[in-house]
Structure 1
Amino acid sequence: MKCRLCDSERLVSVLDLGATPPCELFLTTEDLDLPESTYPLHLRLCADCMLLQIPALVTPEDTFTEYAYFSSYSDTWVEHARQFVDQSISRLGLDRSSSIIEVASNDGYLLKHAVAAEIPCLGIEPSINVSTAAREAGIPTLTAFLDEALACGIREEYGPADLVVANNVYAHVPDLRGFTRALRTLVDDDGWISIEVHHALNLVTLGQFDTIYHEHFQYYTVLSAQRALAVGDLTVVDVELLDTHGGSIRLWARPSGAAGAPSPRVAAVLDQERQAGLHDIDGYRHLEPRARTARQELLRFLLDCRRQGLSVVGYGAPGKGNTLLNYCGIRPDLLEYTVDRNPYKHGRYTPGTRLPILEPEQLEKDRPDVVLGLPWNLEPELTEQLQFISKWGGRLVFPLPSLHTAIG
């Protein structure tokens, strides 16, 4: 394996999560009697450019041609997108003469706010089912994977964009260099690119190992993101620290010729990373023991619940939850089922661990003693949604960053 950014062969093991199935390949009833493919999930660090990465064993086409994740089912995420669009209009002075392109636009959860503001926009979304939902909602959307050829075609047909948005997609591309050059092609010479991605600072220091899965090929600090974007002649000019996904960074980048001096926030976050040891190999060695401790604590808790005769079910079926379930070896004897708001997942089963995924209304019917919140990054939203379980003395427990009770 070579580093996908700099081609170095000096890759250091950070965390080996074993072999798991792709986290978004939910099983149908018919699939349960068929073989299920698993792939190594082994996080490594490039000792030369400091990019965290896993081998590209599953292609984007395998994961995203039909996709189980619809962003609009998270109220928190839709509101986050609305605020971003409003702030971008104000910050960049966008109006009806401007243009926005979003890469990996999902079901239009973000661009619908641009449409409402009458700003011309275009979504690029590879998943057939999700992009269809976006178009049905009135969001102009191309069904395609972004590459350099497509970017050239879009620029020729639609012109360069004043703002290119790439939220939670920069980790999903195995051809990192080609994708970065495609972003540069989409944006005007004096335009802006906004990228949101989970911050490796939180991944390592808080032990958020469940954010590692096969569709996430790389994991960024600001330092490694700067080096990656430089491949496309793009310069990071500002960075914001966000609460989303357990702690993300919003990188504002511009073509280098228009970049100017970066904001003081860039140097401040780089300094945070440096103090945490993430600009050196040794800072990453803490992740593996943190992951092992989290697994042991969760299994101890679930086994204690079983010994006490308590019923335990899950809430949510996110990709991160499937990494957690598979790494911990949690099966229906410890977690009877999970529920999810997304109808696409109802009647299916979690990959690897094969937990039934039911409608949220099942909680009211069964009144479980404990609900395990798998999308722990949405704790405030889920805690509000699930207040009703306190009526029967139910507990809401989240497994990470450390095992804790939110209700009960």
Structure 2
Amino acid sequence: MQSSKHGLRCAFCNAKLHTKVMDFGEVALAGGFLSPNGFQKETFYPLRLFYCEQCYGLQVVDKVDAAELFQDYFYFSSSINTLKNHFKNYATEVVSRFLKKPLNDAKVLEFGCNDGVLLRPLADLKIGTVIGVDPAANVVKTINDPRIKIVNSFFNLATAKEVISQFGKVDMVIANNVYAHISDMQDVTWAIHEVLNEEGVFIFEVHYLGKMMDELQYDMIYHEHLYYHSLLSLKKHFERYRMLIFDVEPVSTHAGSMRYYVCKEGSENANNLTQAVQTLANEEIERGYNRKETFLNFSTQVNNTKLELMALIDRLKDSGKSIVGYGASGRANTLIQYCGLGQQHLDYVVDDAPIKQGFYTPNSHLLIRPSTALESRNPPDYVLIFAWSFLEEIMLRSSTYLRNGGKFIIPLPKVKIISAIGEQGVDQI
């Protein structure tokens, strides 16, 4: 977003923004876990979601300095088995499809590489040059793999030029769950164009707008997630950089993502557009992703879901039940803050990542404990599953808790109760 005396401007096309979809008010950073001595110094920021009627871009307009968001990061992808397995298969698929030359001559760059969850399987496939770019020093230092070249920095045009100087242009650029996080989309997209060779491919996965809309996933909206991409908006975006999307593939991660395959105009892949691209574009037009009314209706539905969840929690608390949360994530903190959840509703939050345990959630200041707390002598009656997109994995880890009579509250896409016996509607409580 560019702001001026003429109002808010679209981050993609610079058009003036008129349509406000949601306003979350002043909120703490969703990834800003803290210790008690940080409570008094906690900072709050506006969080507003706008829709661009010119290029169909759905975007957060209140941007926080990227260094504050990402240079000391709490998210480690390798702690989630579902993601480890996903990225191992991902590496095999894209290498076999696009890297035709001897692999020891190939060059692959991933920006937003996190703790190397994809870089390691790429290196295992004997890629000659594997480059990871990420600004979070505390995360990339855990990679510690001599096969992987680490650039501890934000990926932008300046970084791309450094990479070209040191390694030459690359055959493949990958970005997973990061192409929605970048403040200056215009600079980064030029950087991708520059660092790729003429036949190179840019592959990225990002949470899909369609899933967010269909399942009311407002918990995806926070300052790290600046953009909520549709194919329609991305097609318009890449055209400005002489690039095009030649294939798309839905993937199940993060409760519904899309993998996009992008190449330069005039390359071999540009002549091989798949039917999947046109099919998805037609679906999005039918669903109204090129109309502001669609997004204003989404906002109304989200508010109704919030009211339903809070009515359930209030009933449970009034009957003396204890409730905790599962999953200390950015998504959890959006839901907590939007719904107004606090210590009067939840006793604590559990999370499986050791680095978060002992810290507190932003704003609500709920203690984060290991998930073994659910098997203590005094387990909670209910667990509100913030990490509901990993429900299967959580149910396996919490099988003892469920067998002993514990119950899960699922907040999205429909509020419901799950026990060892089965599902219940909230009206049964």
Q: Give TM class, smaller chain.
A: over 0.9
Q: CA deviation at 1:391?
A: 2.8
Aligned to 1:82: 88
How many pairs does the alignment contain?
A: 407
The one-letter code of the counterpart of 1:103 is F
The one-letter code of the counterpart of 1:385 is R
Deviating beyond 4 angstroms after TM superposition, the runs of 4 or more aligned structure 1 residues are none
Q: Is the 8 A contact 2:246 2:263 kept in 1?
A: yes
Partner secondary structure for residue 144 of structure 2: helix
Residue in structure 1 matching 2:382, options 365, 370, 374? 370
TM-score after normalising by structure 1: 0.96
Q: Is the 8 A contact 2:130 2:147 kept in 1?
A: no
Residue in structure 1 matching 2:228, options 219, 222, 235? 219
CA distance in 2, matches of 1:219, 1:76: 23
1:373-402 C-alpha deviation (Å, 9 max, x unpaired): 111111222122222212320012221111
Gaps of at least 5 residues in structure 2 are 1-7, 421-429
CA distance in 2, matches of 1:137, 1:340: 31
Structure 1 position 346 matched with structure 2 position 346? no
Aligned to 1:283: 294
Residue in structure 2 matching 1:57, options 54, 63, 79? 63
Q: CA deviation at 1:97?
A: 2.1
Q: Is the 8 A contact 1:239 1:250 kept in 2?
A: yes
1:228-270 C-alpha deviation (Å, 9 max, x unpaired): 2223322100001122222111100011121224210001111
The one-letter code of the counterpart of 1:147 is N
Aligned to 2:426: none
Residue in structure 2 matching 1:11, options 12, 18, 26? 18
Q: Is the 8 A contact 1:103 1:124 kept in 2?
A: yes
Residue in structure 1 matching 2:271, options 260, 265, 274? 260
User: Aligned residues: percent identity?
Assistant: 30
Aligned to 1:396: 408
Q: CA deviation at 1:136?
A: 5.7
Q: Is the 8 A contact 2:17 2:50 kept in 1?
A: no
CA distance in 1, matches of 2:10, 2:16: 6
Q: Is the 8 A contact 2:53 2:290 kept in 1?
A: no
Q: Which moved more, 1:250-259 or 1:94-103?
A: 94-103
1:107-160 C-alpha deviation (Å, 9 max, x unpaired): 001111011111131100110100111236864321000110110110121122
TM-score after normalising by structure 2: 0.92
Q: Is the 8 A contact 1:4 1:176 kept in 2?
A: yes
Aligned to 1:107: 115
Residue in structure 2 matching 1:269, options 272, 276, 280? 280
Q: Is the 8 A contact 2:405 2:419 kept in 1?
A: no
Q: Is the 8 A contact 1:383 1:396 kept in 2?
A: no
CA distance in 2, matches of 1:137, 1:17: 44
Structure 1 position 383 matched with structure 2 position 390? no
Equivalence map 1:113-124=2 (5 Å): 113-119=121-127, 120-124=129-133
Q: CA deviation at 1:290?
A: 1.5
Q: Is the 8 A contact 1:181 1:231 kept in 2?
A: no
Partner secondary structure for residue 23 of structure 2: strand
CA distance in 1, matches of 2:326, 2:414: 17
CA distance in 1, matches of 2:68, 2:90: 30
Q: CA deviation at 1:16?
A: 1.4
Aligned to 1:47: 53
Q: Is the 8 A contact 1:383 1:407 kept in 2?
A: no
Partner secondary structure for residue 141 of structure 2: helix
Gaps of at least 5 residues in structure 1 are none
CA distance in 1, matches of 2:310, 2:336: 10
Equivalence map 1:160-309=2 (5 Å): 160-258=169-267, 259-309=270-320
CA distance in 1, matches of 2:325, 2:68: 27
Q: Is the 8 A contact 1:314 1:373 kept in 2?
A: yes
